[in-house]
Structure 1
Amino acid sequence: MKEKSLYLIDGNSILYRAYYAIRNLATSQGFPTNAIYGFLQTLGKIKEEKKPPYLAIVFDAHGPTIRHEAYQEYKANRKPMPEDLVIQVPLLKKILQAQRLKLLEIEKFEADDVLASLAIKAATHGYKPVIVTTDKDLLQVVTRNIFVFNPVKNKLYTPEEVKRELGVYPQQVIDVLALMGDSSDNVPGVPGIGLKTARKLIQQFGSLTNLLNNLDKLKNPRVKNTIANNLDVLELSKNLVTVESQIPLPFHPEEFRVGEEDGEALIQFYRDLEFHSLLQASMAKIVKEGKKQKLSYEIVDNEEQLLRLLPQLKAKKQLSIDTETTSPDPTRARLVGISFTWAPHQAFYLPLGHDYPGAPAQIPISRAVEILHGVLANPEIKKIGQNIKYDLIVLRRAGFEVKGIDTDTMILSYLLEPNWGKHNLDKLAAHYLQTSTISYHDIAGKGAQAKTMDKIAIETVAPYACQDADLAWQLAQVLWPRVEQAGLSPIYRQIELPLIEVLADMEMWGVKVDRLQLAKISQEIKQEMQQLENKIFSACGLKFNLNSPQQLSRVLFEVLRLPPSKKTKVTRRFSTGSSVLEELAKKHPIAQEILEYRQLAKLKSAYADALPKLINPQTGRIHTSYNQTVAATGRLSSSDPNLQNIPIRGEWGRRFRQAFIPEPNYLLLTADYSQIELRVLAHLSQDPALIKVFREDGDIHAEIAQQLFSTNLLDQAEQRRRAKIINFSIIYGASAYSLARELGTTPREAQQFIDLYFARFPEVKNYLQKSIHQTAEKGFAETLFGRRRPVPELKHKNAQVRQFGERIALNTPIQGTAADLIKKAMIDIWQEIKKRKLASRMIIQVHDELVFEVPDSEVELMSSLVKEKMEEVYPLAVPLKVKLAWGINWAESK
């Protein structure tokens, strides 16, 4: 009977739940969007899963209600709606109207009353109403024909389900609520009676009326006297918790029918609010309904056609290109086809490696290399792409020479919106072009049934491939004016663009690892884990699964009776997370042993066992992927594997780094910037005292230790370690409280350290204050090279969010400038290696450190070259210093 289903949404209930469930979500301009987004997610899920033919959303009306007239203190203790929620409500209602949904607000009545009245009226007309709410008060209206659905619990309430959960039937809910009251609505109830007692009384007597008629039968004198002395309060409470279900509302079912959305309006709303997933979904819906651009996509399926097309390709100043392959890993992928275009809404697909039963003959890749050489290898024909580094690696591995890399739309978008996190083509097409895309899964399938591109028909792949090149072309035309207007062209041209080829080379070279060494490490970790496991079992007197949080929680807090902390949201068991175990470790050694066990388990699974599986069978090396568009500060990240997370400290860190080795007759050369972020701070702040330390080649951490701890330059390592914490904590806006926690001191002592630090370096303090002020004024933080990061958090109403924004405002110029410096150094070194035709190669970048694989004969030359290029990369107010080392593995070169 789905065609008669009417879903009635409790707007305020869902709104508040969304607001508190999703925190700190805002646009890049600082407009809060958490409540809107959460509401639309819940609503969208209901529409998608339940597919209700009829739907209405009911909100509380403004002003006093009938309950306020009866009891002035009704909801008097409830705080007003938060300001950052208030400003979202009008916009949410406009979006719901654009979805063509019925909205209701009835003066003097709460949403509960309207929902109940509509539900009863709908049921009498033969409809099946479902009230969507998290409010328990509405369970009183549940009948055989009226239901309540809680979207958080994903539970549909029938009379039996209400009884199962509350212990009473729907018609008894009012009596239970009247007895216990409701502190959130300031409903008094009977003093001293809570849910358990109220439920037990109604279960015993059946109803409040019957209870009052039989008070003398109550065995508990306190409960009997309390009820007898509060009959007026009880009557008032019952009136307040009873929903008004007889509001004289007209019922015209067609007003509630879910109709066709205003797609264009929704697209504009979602784009403005930066709801990328919702935007893509709306675009896809419009395309599905046939409202799409006329496209001219062609297959070039033989040599004659390609040769006819060749003069046009050679005549173009710009070409957008894209490759189709068998793998997302460019160092393993086989080339299946190339698409290219030079104008919007048209493209050509050249199939080269489709291999399935009935596949037509295709141009051999070797022949395509010959034909397209004058196009792809011509630096005057500028190449456009989305994540073009991937295409560059694939094409090079297939034998193509590629020059003229010019525009990567993914990087352009990242420079404009570094906080987005992802800059995939679907997202960019929806946001900038208002266009939906054919997804990979649309043509390849999902899961075990998914096919690789070479196994899919050319006719199926061609529109997908052409679309990718077409959209990259269109995005370039849209993004470049924005990049230039924002003043971001120099950092793209001078750093991000030339870095593409540097990273492509690094990824193609890869890193050699010692498989036997990793196997040995894995076995040693396993043995140490077993020893720890036995020690833990012995301490608690039983064996259990150490990897099970539930079993561990029971052992720690029930068997050993250690003091519990917070509960988890999902299982509602006491947490056994790291922060909890760290606190427990102060009281019982078993907690520290569990932490050590977990650390070893992570080392084994994430590195010792995982790294050998990532060795490329063709090259015998690991090929990580360096990401230019992930970290908002401008830092590079790496993935598959993340080499930046390879353990550094301790014995295990040394052992793992020993597994990274060079080829025979090569050494590993490491070059590490010394205290680069503090040197950047000296330049940006122009603090004379800080500049003096670095110009005199002093040890900044030892200097601070000497001042703060009244020691000399020969102080012990612990004093220097504490000084290092202070140095970095202060410049990134740490409070006295957080610094105290890091140092293990009191907040008062930590504040004294901060005051002493700023007394020594007053211009640093002025610079940090000015950074926050200027960032708030401009709306973005900026590096020395002009990289920008929007900081909407500085405009947030919530003080904690603003403090987070302040830390971003302090962190970005310093860390971002340091990232720009090492990127520029990488480019300079790479260009010099190419120019001199050296056999050395850059293979790893980890924040401030570069690793090179160097022939024995080039060690001295490369040491000199690398040191010079890194230290002279940019003229700061203080010298940049680089530490060099080399050896037969990564550990030996540290």
Structure 2
Amino acid sequence: MESKQHLYLVDGSAYIFRAYHRLPPLTDPQGTPVGAVYGYTTMLWKLAEDLNKADGPTHLAVILDKASTSFRNELYDQYKAHRPPPPEDLVPQFPLIRDATRAFSLACIEEEGVEADDIIASYARAATRQGWDVTIVSSDKDLMQLVGKCAEPHDGVEGGCIDMLDTMKNQRIDVAEVIEKFGVPPEKVGDVLALMGDSVDNVPGVFGVGPKTASKLIQDYGDLDSALAAAPSMKKGKLQERLIEHADLARLSKELVTLKEDCALPVPLDDFKLTAIPPEPLAAFLSRHGFTSLLKRLDGGHGSPERATQLNPSKPVTMGVTPVEGAARQSLPDWPAPDLDSYTCLTTVAQLDAWIARASDARVVAIDTETSALDAMRADLAGISLALGPNDACYIPLGHGGSDMFAERPTQVPLNEALQRLKPLLESDAVLKVGQNIKYDINVLARHGITVAPVDDTMIISFCLDAGRQAEGIGGGHGMDELSERHLNHKTLTFKEICGTGKKAIPFGEVPLDRATRYAAEDADVTWRLHSLLRPRLPQESGTRIYERVDRPLIPVVAQMERHGIKVDREKLAGLSRQFAETISALECEIFGLCGQEFTIGSPKQLGDILFDKMGYKGGRKGKSGQYSTDQAILENLAAQGAEVANKVLEWRQLTKLRSTYTEALQAAINPTTGRVHTSYSLVGAQTGRLSSTDPNLQNIPIRTEIGRQIRDCFVAEPGNVLLSADYSQIELRLAAHMADVPPLKQAFAKGEDIHARTAMEMFGTVDRDTRGRAKTINFAILYGISRWGLAGRLGTSADEAQAMIDRYFDRFPGIQRYIVSTLELVRERGYSETLFGRKTWFPRINAKSQAERQGSERAAINAPIQGTSADIIKRAMARMGPALTAAGLNEVRMLLQVHDELVFELPEGDVAAAAPVIERVMAEAALPAVSLDVPLGVEIGSGQSWGAAH
């Protein structure tokens, strides 16, 4: 029995415009524009080649529009009246595109008086009556009326059925997808389209009726005629009035959107049979138009010149890259290049509602906010951009207009009304919101009463896949500009290009709407593309576990911590700042006295000249610039030689840095509305996965010095509350004991012993203040891959003595040495290290020829699995903390800060006794059940009126 025939009908017009926008202008040897021709050729080549190889498709034809008018213009003279003419350089390419189709020996069909959709419908129905299955290659909503139509069996022939294929998304469209999009089955889509109209084709519809209302009317009343007939008995209101007033337009619209299924068939179906692409006349066509790269591929026997397209996907296409040195570029889907002029600016409620309906149907929407400042807690909202696909993006201006009260404000949807309409979409569990650093957008919108969820973040997905990787000439960052250039080969508009720089810079809210739309919608468009490209790599490259179990759940948690902020005592800060200023001034006088002259202490050149040329200290070394180095190691070496001035300079440096970074900067950072300081956490700031804190940085306050405690004392609780600090005790050493399998260290931790004392006993045979201090230094230094010279500098010994200590340490704890050796071997082989939870950190310079580069990578690679696992564990604890506290009835406990291995909370004083054991349990069990450790995770907890008292 002959196998069933399967006809593919390609909506060629859609291919043409996608091809035109995909490539920059090109001309052939005769000077004719051929950019669209080239793009169309590559797209059609790939489609035909894959269809020929796929299991099932047997026939193919490309259907084109022959003219701009059809029988519908006789029904309604305004039909498609508002469509702009095609671009001037595209017009001469239309006949060449037809030539290209025929060069593939594919049928190219077009007829006067009817549209391509009607020809497609007629061929599709004719083919199904012959028992063929039909796939329409398009995403046109009008054609969705045909989906699921099956011919009745007759004369022993089983009727065929129709579906659609959207090659842009590699998605099959069947009855279920149509119902999901329109809320009605395919046979009722025309009724919905008749009610909602179509602004692109100028189908009038019923004014004010959008997709959701149209869908509900057809669901409730069954069809268009029934809905119109029921209008007089409907509840009085605008909808009733409009249905009655525009009933005739709705019936006309139904005629306009209904596909003609009985057009004459100019070419028999059997002539559409799909075979391998013959070399001629394709070679002649490629040669004539100068498509040499495609010609070479044809000559080389390659069926496809460009990107892969899977035409019969049972699952979404998964794309990935091979883990090699550098951030390997992956093949792009068959997308058009970003076209900044294709984006829409939504300035009316009707436009906004239509987009919200489309986004709700799409289930995935990229989102980006434009604001007046980088601080999410102070920024005013200027607008929101959305994207549903390549070049399918919009900008919603909400706060545009000059700052002057007399400045003219452009037409835009009022802020509160727009947000009220957007809120259900942004909070819907059924719609995934995708952002680039979406934590910022979450916080901006949270201040307007919107809780954005669920979310995906392209920046964090990139970090989970490529932390540490670099692309040649681009870098290894995870910002949008770098990701766009690296993965999409597209250079994005910059903020400076739109808003200017220096004195001429303007706020984004004053940017004209056309320019603002280009910039803002591009961000959403690029974010959508990056998500479609990077998200499928997670399961292929074993990134799903770290993203879904560690990083993604943390996004809303960290956003909420930033909004909480922490209270600082301004008066205490100011007093401490004055105290520092006095001490700094006194130190300057002492330094000038010791040096015999005044100079700029903060100038490395002046300081170096005085220390080594004037005062004659040894150990000075000049760099390439010709000036002496005066870094901390140099000054500490001089201090060890007895140079008092070096100690004074080190103290001066520390105080001036603390004063500028904390006691002065923190006062300026107090939010005038909340009275609190709101730091910003980056989930991609540290290569090992640790959170980093900026604006202000609250993670670098000295921990064990009196000055550091004084600064922490300035962080206080609100009246009636206290601060609680929960700190992992020696977590990296505990993890090292587990990961390196070191029985003596595991036993010591299990018994609750002083690990540094245990190491001192193992190393030196005795425990006192000196040996314990040395053991502590060695414990941490070894885990950071320190060299003998580095250890010698820290312990104040010779390099040989330091090497002897390292050898003795490895002799007593051989598991540590095995861990270091095996870790380096794995990283050299694979290019990356891995935490216990699967977080990869890439080290592209691990095999570098430069010894300095190679050794630097080796030191980092030794520590990355341990420090990264520590970061993963505290992140898991943070994500679990809120639900655990809520379950315990502790709803007023708020997590405020994360500082490396420490979490800081604010809570009512009376809740400390109940909250402390919950917090300790969550932190101690954070690794479970994914990882079961051989050592307990110790947690130290303290509380007090200030951070200093609690720490």
Aligned to 1:11: none
Aligned mates of 2:799, 2:618 — CA distance in 1: 26
Aligned to 2:366: 320
Selected match of 1:763 from 794, 808, 815? 815
Q: How does 1:204-219 map to 2 (within 5 A)?
A: none
Aligned mates of 2:622, 2:697 — CA distance in 1: 32
Aligned to 2:945: 888
1:320 is paired with a residue of what secondary structure? strand
Aligned mates of 1:547, 1:734 — CA distance in 2: 30
Aligned mates of 1:461, 1:547 — CA distance in 2: 43
Q: Are the structure 2 counterparts of residues 667 and 755 from structure 1 closer, same or farther at C-alpha, using a change threshold of 3 Å? A: same
CA-CA distance at 1:430 after TM superposition: 1.1
The residue type paired with residue 807 of structure 1 is R
Q: How does 1:752-831 map to 2 (within 5 A)?
A: 752-831=804-883
Per-residue Cα deviation, 1:428-461 (whole angstroms, up to 9, x for no partner): 1111111121111111111121111112222221
The residue type paired with residue 885 of structure 1 is G
CA-CA distance at 1:802 after TM superposition: 2.9
**Residue 398 (str. 1) matches residue 444 (str. 2):** no
Q: Are the structure 2 counterparts of residues 834 and 325 from structure 1 closer, same or farther at C-alpha, using a change threshold of 3 Å? A: farther
Moved more, 738-747 or 674-683: 738-747
Give aligned-pair identity as a percent.
41
Q: Are the structure 2 counterparts of residues 319 and 441 from structure 1 closer, same or farther at C-alpha, using a change threshold of 3 Å? A: same
Kindly indicate whether the alpha-carbon contact (under 8 Å) linking 1:564 and 1:574 is maintained by their aligned counterparts in 2: no
Q: How does 1:670-689 map to 2 (within 5 A)?
A: 670-689=725-744
Q: Are the structure 2 counterparts of residues 795 and 725 from structure 1 closer, same or farther at C-alpha, using a change threshold of 3 Å? A: same
Aligned to 1:495: 550
The answer to which structure has the higher helix fraction is 1
Kindly indicate whether the alpha-carbon contact (under 8 Å) linking 2:884 and 2:922 is maintained by their aligned counterparts in 1: no
Aligned to 1:223: none
**Residue 448 (str. 1) matches residue 494 (str. 2):** no
Q: Give the paired residue count.
A: 611
Selected match of 1:418 from 451, 455, 467? 467
Aligned to 2:801: 749
Q: How does 1:222-301 map to 2 (within 5 A)?
A: 293=339, 296-301=342-347
CA-CA distance at 1:466 after TM superposition: 0.8
**Residue 377 (str. 1) matches residue 430 (str. 2):** no
Moved more, 648-657 or 558-567: 558-567
CA-CA distance at 1:812 after TM superposition: 1.1
Moved more, 788-797 or 337-346: 788-797
**Residue 694 (str. 1) matches residue 749 (str. 2):** yes
**Residue 582 (str. 1) matches residue 636 (str. 2):** yes
Aligned mates of 1:564, 1:773 — CA distance in 2: 37
Per-residue Cα deviation, 1:74-103 (whole angstroms, up to 9, x for no partner): xxxxxxxxxxxxxxxxxxxxxxxxxxxxxx
Aligned mates of 1:443, 1:800 — CA distance in 2: 42
Question: What is the alpha-carbon root mean square deviation over aligned residues?
Answer: 2.5
**Residue 519 (str. 1) matches residue 574 (str. 2):** yes
Kindly indicate whether the alpha-carbon contact (under 8 Å) linking 2:340 and 2:518 is maintained by their aligned counterparts in 1: no
Aligned mates of 1:607, 1:305 — CA distance in 2: 48
Aligned to 2:392: 346
Q: Are the structure 2 counterparts of residues 401 and 545 from structure 1 closer, same or farther at C-alpha, using a change threshold of 3 Å? A: closer
Aligned mates of 1:771, 1:274 — CA distance in 2: 20
CA-CA distance at 1:275 after TM superposition: 10
Aligned mates of 2:593, 2:751 — CA distance in 1: 57
CA-CA distance at 1:274 after TM superposition: 6.3
Aligned to 1:308: 354
CA-CA distance at 1:787 after TM superposition: 0.5
The residue type paired with residue 411 of structure 1 is I
Aligned mates of 2:603, 2:787 — CA distance in 1: 36
CA-CA distance at 1:295 after TM superposition: 5.4
Q: Are the structure 2 counterparts of residues 545 and 813 from structure 1 closer, same or farther at C-alpha, using a change threshold of 3 Å? A: closer
Aligned to 1:654: 709
Aligned mates of 1:446, 1:808 — CA distance in 2: 38
Per-residue Cα deviation, 1:306-338 (whole angstroms, up to 9, x for no partner): 223332232221111111111111111111111
Q: How does 1:352-751 map to 2 (within 5 A)?
A: 352-356=398-402, 357-405=407-455, 407-419=456-468, 420=470, 422-563=477-618, 565-570=620-625, 572-585=626-639, 586-712=641-767, 715-716=768-769, 718-751=770-803
Selected match of 1:868 from 898, 906, 921? 921
Aligned to 1:200: none
Kindly indicate whether the alpha-carbon contact (under 8 Å) linking 1:624 and 1:640 is maintained by their aligned counterparts in 2: yes
CA-CA distance at 1:294 after TM superposition: 7.5
CA-CA distance at 1:843 after TM superposition: 0.8
Kindly indicate whether the alpha-carbon contact (under 8 Å) linking 2:353 and 2:421 is maintained by their aligned counterparts in 1: yes
Q: Are the structure 2 counterparts of residues 842 and 292 from structure 1 closer, same or farther at C-alpha, using a change threshold of 3 Å? A: closer
Aligned mates of 2:599, 2:865 — CA distance in 1: 50
Q: Are the structure 2 counterparts of residues 547 and 736 from structure 1 closer, same or farther at C-alpha, using a change threshold of 3 Å? A: closer
Aligned mates of 1:275, 1:501 — CA distance in 2: 28
The residue type paired with residue 679 of structure 1 is R
The residue type paired with residue 606 of structure 1 is T
Q: Are the structure 2 counterparts of residues 821 and 272 from structure 1 closer, same or farther at C-alpha, using a change threshold of 3 Å? A: closer
CA-CA distance at 1:550 after TM superposition: 4.1
Per-residue Cα deviation, 1:542-588 (whole angstroms, up to 9, x for no partner): 33333344443443344433346122443x24344433333332142
Q: Are the structure 2 counterparts of residues 625 and 597 from structure 1 closer, same or farther at C-alpha, using a change threshold of 3 Å? A: same
Aligned mates of 2:813, 2:612 — CA distance in 1: 49
Kindly indicate whether the alpha-carbon contact (under 8 Å) linking 1:422 and 1:630 is maintained by their aligned counterparts in 2: no
2:677 is paired with a residue of what secondary structure? coil
The residue type paired with residue 899 of structure 2 is V
- The TM-score with structure 1 as length reference comes to 0.65
Kindly indicate whether the alpha-carbon contact (under 8 Å) linking 2:742 and 2:815 is maintained by their aligned counterparts in 1: yes
Kindly indicate whether the alpha-carbon contact (under 8 Å) linking 1:418 and 1:630 is maintained by their aligned counterparts in 2: no
Per-residue Cα deviation, 1:355-402 (whole angstroms, up to 9, x for no partner): 322222432322223212221111121111111111111111122232
Q: Are the structure 2 counterparts of residues 559 and 759 from structure 1 closer, same or farther at C-alpha, using a change threshold of 3 Å? A: closer
Q: Are the structure 2 counterparts of residues 834 and 392 from structure 1 closer, same or farther at C-alpha, using a change threshold of 3 Å? A: farther
1:730 is paired with a residue of what secondary structure? helix
Per-residue Cα deviation, 1:757-792 (whole angstroms, up to 9, x for no partner): 223322232222211122222221100000111223
CA-CA distance at 1:657 after TM superposition: 0.6
Per-residue Cα deviation, 1:474-508 (whole angstroms, up to 9, x for no partner): 11111112222111011111111110001100111
Kindly indicate whether the alpha-carbon contact (under 8 Å) linking 2:338 and 2:390 is maintained by their aligned counterparts in 1: no
CA-CA distance at 1:633 after TM superposition: 0.8
Aligned mates of 2:838, 2:561 — CA distance in 1: 26
The residue type paired with residue 581 of structure 1 is L
**Residue 337 (str. 1) matches residue 364 (str. 2):** no
Aligned mates of 2:324, 2:808 — CA distance in 1: 46
- The TM-score with structure 2 as length reference comes to 0.62
Aligned mates of 1:295, 1:449 — CA distance in 2: 25
Aligned mates of 1:300, 1:837 — CA distance in 2: 44
Aligned mates of 2:634, 2:792 — CA distance in 1: 19
The residue type paired with residue 937 of structure 2 is L
2:654 is paired with a residue of what secondary structure? helix
Q: Are the structure 2 counterparts of residues 699 and 291 from structure 1 closer, same or farther at C-alpha, using a change threshold of 3 Å? A: closer
Aligned mates of 1:794, 1:305 — CA distance in 2: 54
Aligned mates of 1:677, 1:575 — CA distance in 2: 33
Kindly indicate whether the alpha-carbon contact (under 8 Å) linking 1:335 and 1:398 is maintained by their aligned counterparts in 2: no
Q: Are the structure 2 counterparts of residues 353 and 793 from structure 1 closer, same or farther at C-alpha, using a change threshold of 3 Å? A: same
Q: Are the structure 2 counterparts of residues 850 and 740 from structure 1 closer, same or farther at C-alpha, using a change threshold of 3 Å? A: same
CA-CA distance at 1:872 after TM superposition: 1.0
CA-CA distance at 1:626 after TM superposition: 0.5
Selected match of 2:891 from 838, 844, 847? 838
Moved more, 443-452 or 552-561: 552-561
1:844 is paired with a residue of what secondary structure? strand
Moved more, 832-841 or 494-503: 832-841
Kindly indicate whether the alpha-carbon contact (under 8 Å) linking 1:825 and 1:873 is maintained by their aligned counterparts in 2: yes
Aligned mates of 1:805, 1:829 — CA distance in 2: 35
Per-residue Cα deviation, 1:101-134 (whole angstroms, up to 9, x for no partner): xxxxxxxxxxxxxxxxxxxxxxxxxxxxxxxxxx
